[in-house]
């Protein structure tokens, strides 16, 4: 038998085998390690960041809810109640000023009773005490009175919301059969107090003399010093209409 001849292996033929079997270089090994670690870092960092952001958002939401909740409660139960008290006191002061500067000469007792319905405290006691005298004076004077509010503002309200002070400016028209009507401007300060659930005037003070706006004015009228009760500056004029100098 003849032996088959073997061809010699050249370096070119052995090169591919060497390339396949060659171990990775240090740079390749480092790149592979980085690629293996990268998924781990990517998988852990985002959840931690999301958790921190969620906690911060929750804290902010709770703080906002607490802030606006307290503000809403204050507005509803504290500021709202105070605003209602201010409105009620001011409305009552307007009405009291009108009632105290109104006189129907055909119904003097009714007009004075209307004025007293807006009073409380010492001023009411004085009006009750001088009721007969006031009716007599109003009848003798024969001066009809009507009023409208030109402006009003509440200048004070206590923390208990049961006392207040109001400034009221009125236009009061006085009429008498033998002369033309006269319009006056009154400026009053009214101290208001709660009588049960109703605001009433407990003190009235004139801040200035009545100002004649139109008409002939008080012609041939007796001065305040000639009228009973003229030494009572706190007594409102409507209970004694003839006292033109004590309005």
Q: In terms of CATH, what superfamily is 90-246?
A: VirB8 protein (3.10.450.230)
How is residue 189 written in tokens? Answer: 């300060």
How is residue 211 written in tokens? Answer: 């100002």
Q: Which sequence spans correspond to the domains of the chain?
A: 90-246
What's the 3-state SS for 185-202?
A: EEEEEEEEEEECCEEEEE
pLDDT of residue 244: 37
**What average pLDDT is seen over the chain?**
76
pLDDT tens track for 94-116: 999 999 999 999 999 999 999 99
Taking the model in full, what pTM does it have? 0.61
Cβ-Cβ contacts under 8 Å for 183 (sequence gap 6 or more): 171, 172, 173, 212, 213, 214, 215
Cβ-Cβ contacts under 8 Å for 11 (sequence gap 6 or more): none
With cut-offs at 50, 70 and 90, classify the pLDDT of residue 76: low
């Amino acid at each position: 038998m003849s032996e088959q001849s073997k061809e010699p292996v050249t370096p070119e033929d052995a090169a591919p085998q060497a390339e396949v079997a060659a171990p990775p270089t240090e740079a390749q090994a480092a790149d592979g390690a980085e690629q293996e670690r990268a998924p781990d870092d990517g998988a852990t960092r985002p959840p931690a960041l999301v958790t921190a952001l969620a906690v911060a958002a929750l804290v902010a939401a709770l703080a906002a809810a607490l802030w606006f909740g307290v503000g809403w409660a204050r507005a509803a139960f504290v500021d709202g109640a105070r605003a209602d008290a201010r409105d009620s006191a001011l409305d009552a002061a307007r009405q009291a000023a009108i009632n105290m500067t109104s006189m129907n000469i055909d119904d003097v007792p009714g007009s004075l009773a209307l004025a007293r319905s807006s009073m409380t405290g010492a001023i009411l006691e004085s009006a009750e005490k001088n009721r007969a005298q006031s009716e007599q004076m109003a009848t003798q004077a024969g001066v009809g009175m009507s009023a409208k509010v030109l402006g009003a503002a509440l200048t004070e309200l206590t923390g208990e919301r049961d006392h207040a002070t109001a400034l009221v400016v009125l236009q009061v028209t006085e009429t008498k059969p033998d002369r033309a009507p006269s319009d006056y401007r009154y400026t009053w300060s009214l101290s208001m107090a709660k009588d049960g659930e109703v605001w009433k005037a407990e003190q009235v003070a004139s801040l200035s003399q009545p100002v004649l706006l139109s008409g002939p004015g008080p012609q041939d009228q007796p001065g305040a010093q000639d009228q009973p009760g003229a030494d009572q500056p706190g007594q409102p004029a409507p209970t004694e209409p003839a006292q033109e100098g004590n309005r």
